[in-house]
Amino acid sequence: MNSEGKHRAPTFWEATITFVISLAILVTSSISAMDMHTPLLAVIILSGLLGVYTGHRWRDVEPSLVSGITSCAPALYFLICIGATIGIWIEAGIIPAFVSYGLVWLKPAFFYAGACLFTAMIAALSTSGGAMGTVGVALMVIAHGIGADLYVTSGALISGAVMGQLISPINDMLPLALAQGARLNETIKLFMVRLLPPFLLVEVLYLVYGYFVGFPQASINSGLIIDAIRQHFFISPVIFLPVILLFLLIARGTPTVPVLMINLIVSSLFAYVFQGAGLAEIFRAMSHGYIPPADQEIMQIFARGGITPFGSIMQLTMMASIWAALLKKIGALDAIFVKLISLPLLQKKLGLQSHLLSVFISICTCAVIPAIIISGELLKGKYQEEGRPIEELYRNVIASGIIVSPLIPWTNIYFYNAGILGMNLIPAFPYFWFALVYFAWLIILGLRDKVLGHGKHGISEKTALEE
C-alpha cells in the first residue's frame, strides 16, 4: 500500500486472483445451497482488501458503495411492487382464477411447452419480470396441481420470460441501444433472426418431455384444487380486468413501477368488491402475502406474495450491487477487461468479444445493465471502424447478458426469479433449455462458418468467428 495515500490500479494478476477467489466463494456457496448473504459479504471484504492494498482510502471508496445501492434502487422499487402485486392478486382472486382455468385448459402433456410459450407471450407484451411475477406464479401453482416437476417448470418459465423480453419492442434494455444510435426495428429483426430457431427447438423439447413423462395423478389433484378455489374465491372472467389494464398501460409505454402502483389500487377494489376483503386483509396481503385458512391444506399453495418476504431478496440485490461498484471503483474490472479483449483469440472477432464480454461482465457486476453499457462502450468504436452496424453489437450484448444472468446465482435476475418462484433455482439450471440451446446454436453456426448478420444495406452473411 502506498504510504502517501495515493492509490493505483490493480495489476491484471492482482485483480484476477481476487476475482477467482471471489468466484470460488460464490459458486461453492451456491452449489451448497447456502444463504448468499455471508458469501456476498465475504467477497465485498475481499475486494475491499484489494482496494486497501492498492492504496485506496475509505473516504475515496465510500461514495462508490453508496452509488452501488443507488444503482439498484429501480430494482428494489420493482421488487416491492411485485411482492405487493402477487399478494393482492391472490386476495382479489386473479391468480386463483388463472389457476382454476389453467387446470382445466392446460393438459399435462403440453404443460411445459405451454408454460414456456404463454410466459413468452406475456413477457413480450409487458416485461419478463412482470410475466414471472404474475402468470409465472399462477403456472407454478398449476404445476403443483398437476404433479409437474417444479424444476422443469421453472426452467420453462424462465426460458419463456427471457425469449419474450428479447423480442419485445418494449424491452427495458432496448433504450440502452437506442441511446447509442441503434434503430428499433432493425434491432428487433436481428433478435428474431438469431433467437427464433433455438426457441422453436426449445418448445419441441418441452413438448416431447411433457408428452413422455406424463402426470398420472393429475385429474385427482386438479379437481381438488379447483373445488377448493371455487369455495374460497369468486371466479369469473371479469376478475382479469386489472391484468388487462396492466398490459394496456405497459404497451402504451407507461413506466412499469407507476403501472404496478395503479394496478395495486384497482386490484384492491376488486378484492373488496368481488371477494369481500376488508381493508385489513388487503393491506395484510400486500405486506405479508396471502394467508390461506389454516384448516385448508390444499390452499397453502397460495401462501405467496407480500413485500416482507422479498426483504431478503432486496438485501442480496443491494449487496451484489455494492460488490460490483467496489470492483469498478478500485479498477479491478478495467484491469481484467482490457486484458481480456486484447487476447489473440479475440482479435478481429468482434461478435465473439461482445458475447464473452457481456457474459463475463454479468458475472462480475451481478446485473445485465452494466454488462450492456460497459460492453457497448468498450466495443462500439471497433464496430464503427469495421463498418459493422451498431444494432449487431447491442443484439449480441443484450441477448448474451439477459440469457446468461438467470444462470448466475448472485445476479439480481436470479434473486428475483428465486424470490418469485419461492425456491432454490440451481437444480433447475439443467432445464433452462433456452440458454443451453442458444449457446449451442452459436457453436453450430460457428461450425458452419456462416451466420445471418445485418449489414448496412440489409441482411448479409458473416463468418461465425466475426459474429
* pLDDT tens digit sequence for 107-119: 778 889 999 999 9
Mean pLDDT, to the nearest integer, of 326-343? 79
Looking at residue 126, the DSSP 8-state letter turns out to be: S
Mean pLDDT of the chain: 82
Q: Is residue 366 left, alpha or beta, with left meaning phi > 0 and alpha meaning psi from -120 to 50?
A: left
d(CA 339, CA 356): 13
CB atoms near residue 404 (< 10 Å): 23
> What is the residue range of 217's domain?
74-310
- Count the domains in the chain: 1
Strands 458-462 and 451-455: antiparallel
235 within domain boundaries: yes
What pLDDT shows up at residue 370?
A: 78
What pLDDT shows up at residue 385?
A: 80
* pLDDT tens digit sequence for 53-82: 888 888 888 887 888 788 778 778 888 888
Selected residue with higher pLDDT from 425 and 454? 425
DSSP symbols for 176-208 = HHHTTT--HHHHHHHHHHHHHHHHHHHHHHHHH
* Residues 6+ positions from 386 with CB-CB distance below 8 Å: 350
Give the phi and the psi of residue 124 in degrees, each rounded to 5: -65, -30
* Residues 6+ positions from 301 with CB-CB distance below 8 Å: 141, 144, 145, 225
Flag the least confident range among 35-39, 213-217, 410-414, 426-430. Answer: 213-217
27 within domain boundaries: no
What pLDDT shows up at residue 267?
A: 94
Angle at 214 between CA 208 and CA 216, to 5 degrees: 170
* Residues 6+ positions from 313 with CB-CB distance below 8 Å: 79, 415, 416, 418, 419
CB atoms near residue 132 (< 10 Å): 29
291 within domain boundaries: yes
What pLDDT shows up at residue 344?
A: 62
Flag the least confident range among 25-39, 54-68, 264-278, 329-343. Answer: 329-343
> Any idea which residue has 471502424 for its cell?
385
User: In the predicted model, is pLDDT for residue 276 greater than 70?
Assistant: yes
Confidence of residue 264 (pLDDT cuts 50, 70, 90): very high
Give the phi and the psi of residue 253 in degrees, each rounded to 5: 95, 10
Highest mean pLDDT among 19-23, 171-175, 217-221: 19-23
d(CA 347, CA 466): 10
User: In the predicted model, is pLDDT for residue 206 greater than 90?
Assistant: yes
What pLDDT shows up at residue 450?
A: 41
What pLDDT shows up at residue 127?
A: 73
* Residues 6+ positions from 64 with CB-CB distance below 8 Å: 325, 326, 328, 329
Flag the least confident range among 197-201, 222-226, 327-331, 390-394. Answer: 222-226
